[in-house]
Each structure stands twice: as C-alpha cells, then as structure tokens.
C-alpha cells in the first residue's frame, strides 16, 4: 500500500461516532489487528530494502574500487568504471551513485510508512481510555 492509501484509511478509521461509543470500543481490537498487519508487512519490506541496500553498497564499493567480478558487473548492467578513484574517495562516489540514492529514497519512504503505522497503533492503544473519558463526559452532562 502507498502512504496516501494508508493515510486515507486512517482518516476514516480514526473518526469516532459519538452516538455509538460502545460500538467504537468494540472495534478497537479489529482496528488494532488491521493496522498491526499493515505495520508488520511494511516493516518486513523495509528490512528487505535495508538488506538490498547493504548488498548494493558492497557491490558499488567493489565497482568503484575496481575489484568487482566482470560477470557480476554485466549481470547488473553496469559498464566498466573508467575512473581511477582513490580508496578514501570511494564512499563519496557510492553515496552519490544514482542507484544508491534511489534505494535510500525508497527506504526513507517505507520508514515513513512504518513510523506512521507505529503511531497509529499507539493511538489505538489509548483509544479505549479516550472512549471511556467521552462516556464519562456524556454522563456528567446529563447528570448521571
């Protein structure tokens, strides 16, 4: 799912029907399950991206160092590096590499999703207290 889709889902699910607070309290476990499933899936995607990032950075280090296997380079669709790069400058080239940058952006996007879902789950954890406070407020207003 995209971040926008998750935000739209949360916008709808975060609304409380003040006339049916009991029903809203009963929906909490279902919502928790729904968002925890999304959270777990997105966290796994992020972990896979992080593993891919480590592999890509290693391959790029070998590429810029000139020690990459020719077959692996061709497999990845890379042309031989014509530059002679000092060992101390290799991290700078790796960080500025377009593939590395794109993977970093992808990881940042999924990190945003994971962080948002974590916050949504935290909000759901306190939802029962909020509903209880709303019920007490309604009782106070009517003098019970």
Position 85 in a domain: yes
Structural domain of 111: 34-127
Looking at residue 141, its pLDDT comes to: 87
122 contacts 128 by C-beta, under 8 angstroms: no
Looking at residue 144, its pLDDT comes to: 75
Listed as ranges, residues in the chain with pLDDT below 50 are: none
Looking at residue 135, its pLDDT comes to: 87
Instruction: Please count the structural domains in the chain.
Output: 1
Q: Is 138 helix (H, G, I), strand (E, B) or coil?
A: helix
Q: How far apart are CA 17 and CA 11, in angstroms?
A: 13
The tokens of 109 are what? 């996007």
Position 62 in a domain: yes
Q: pTM of the full predicted structure? A: 0.86
Position 106 in a domain: yes
């Amino acid at each position: 799912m995209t971040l926008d889709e998750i935000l739209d889902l949360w916008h709808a699910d975060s609304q409380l029907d003040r006339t049916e607070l009991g029903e809203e309290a009963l929906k909490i476990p279902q919502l928790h399950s729904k968002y925890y499933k999304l959270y777990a899936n997105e966290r796994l995607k992020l972990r896979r991206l992080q593993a891919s990032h480590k592999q890509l950075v290693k391959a790029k280090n070998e590429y810029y160092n000139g020690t990459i296997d020719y077959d692996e380079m061709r497999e990845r669709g890379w042309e031989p590096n014509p530059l002679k790069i000092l060992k101390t400058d290799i991290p700078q080239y790796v960080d500025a590499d377009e593939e590395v940058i794109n993977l970093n952006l992808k990881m940042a996007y999924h990190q945003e999703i994971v962080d948002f879902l974590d916050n949504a789950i935290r909000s759901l954890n306190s939802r029962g207290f909020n509903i209880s406070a709303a019920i007490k407020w309604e009782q106070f207003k009517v003098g019970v």
